[in-house]
Amino acid sequence: MKGLRRVSAVTITAGAVLTAGAFTASAQAATTASPTIAAKGGFVMNNATGKSLFTKAADTRLSTGSTTKIMTARVVLAQPNLNLDAKVTVQKAYSDYIVDNNWASSAKLIVGDKVTVRQLLYGLMLPSGCDAAYALADKFGTGSTRAARVKSFIGKMNTTAKSLGLTNTHFDSFDGIGHGANYSTPRDLTKLASSAMKYSTFRSVVKTKSTKQKVTTKSGGYRYMSWTNTNNLLGSYSGTIGVKTGSGPEAKYCLVFAATRSGKTMIGTVLASTSVDARTKDAKKLMDYGFSR
């Protein structure tokens, strides 16, 4: 009888443990339910392993807006013997481009100023300067005319996309103000950002909330340019390390994002969200979800 009682007690205890375990598992499942986002497309992955953790139309081609500038920076940073301190003189064509394109965001570069390649990368990624993008394309494209150099640079963007295996990505502009053939997908843009984040200069730039840069004026004096990052995850989501916003009539509101917590990095993209606030909320939801997996 004593032996029987012991067996029965063990059975009850084991049953209680099983029940408690099931309860805990179901509670965890409830807290990690797949999120609902406003964006048409979304993707998040573990940056170290490349494991997909959330997908919504992840391979659907969509307009990218200024998230295109991740590729602009990536092409520049991959140049052989790159000198980040090389000076570039701001041309009138760059400021005219801003005037001619209503949706062009600007780093407010001043004609005749001499700015470094590094400063242009800040102007490109923080205020999302289309003038800075133009300057970089002109500097790093090849050809005897500005038009030829820009065309060559966009060619480098597409060659890089192919080399990274971004099969649903194509660029027809250096800044995201496309001409009908500028598109990518949440998965492809995330892979691109992951590749760009391997460059220390890129990481330094995209995690910067604001910067004040000393540039040389046409007369040989100097002025300070102040740029603030359009990515409002910086300072509002713990662990955020980048990367780039985008918007436009076709693109709506886009955000490529990354954050590191407890040694784990989540990286992802939302495309065609409904507002600046919505894209930020979407990104936070996806990172929360990723970190909980």
CB 197 within 8 A of CB 203: yes
Token match 């995330």: residue? 190
What would the two tokens of residue 75 be?
A: 């092409």
- Name every residue whose Cβ is closer than 8 Å to that of residue 24 and which is 6 or more positions away in sequence: none
Describe the crossing of helices 186-196 and 69-77 by its angle, rounded to 10 degrees: 30
- 285 part of the active site: no
Active site residue 156: no
Cα 117 to Cα 145: distance, rounded to the nearest angstrom? 20
Query: N- to C-terminal Cα distance for the chain?
Result: 47
* Active-site residue, from 56, 69, 156, 285: 69
In the set 63, 105, 106, 128, the catalytic residue is 128
Q: Angle at Cα 77 formed by Cα 75 and Cα 82, nearest 5°?
A: 120
Residues with Cβ within 8 Å of 152's Cβ and at least 6 positions away in sequence, in order, are: 141, 142, 143
Sheet harboring 52-56: ordered strands across?
Answer: 52-56, 41-46, 264-273, 252-261, 240-248
| 105 noted as active-site residue | no
Helix, strand, coil shares of the chain, percent, nearest 5, are: 45, 20, 35
Distance CA 241, CA 259 (A): 5
- Which candidate in 66, 105, 184, 195 is catalytic? 66
Catalytic positions are 66, 69, 128
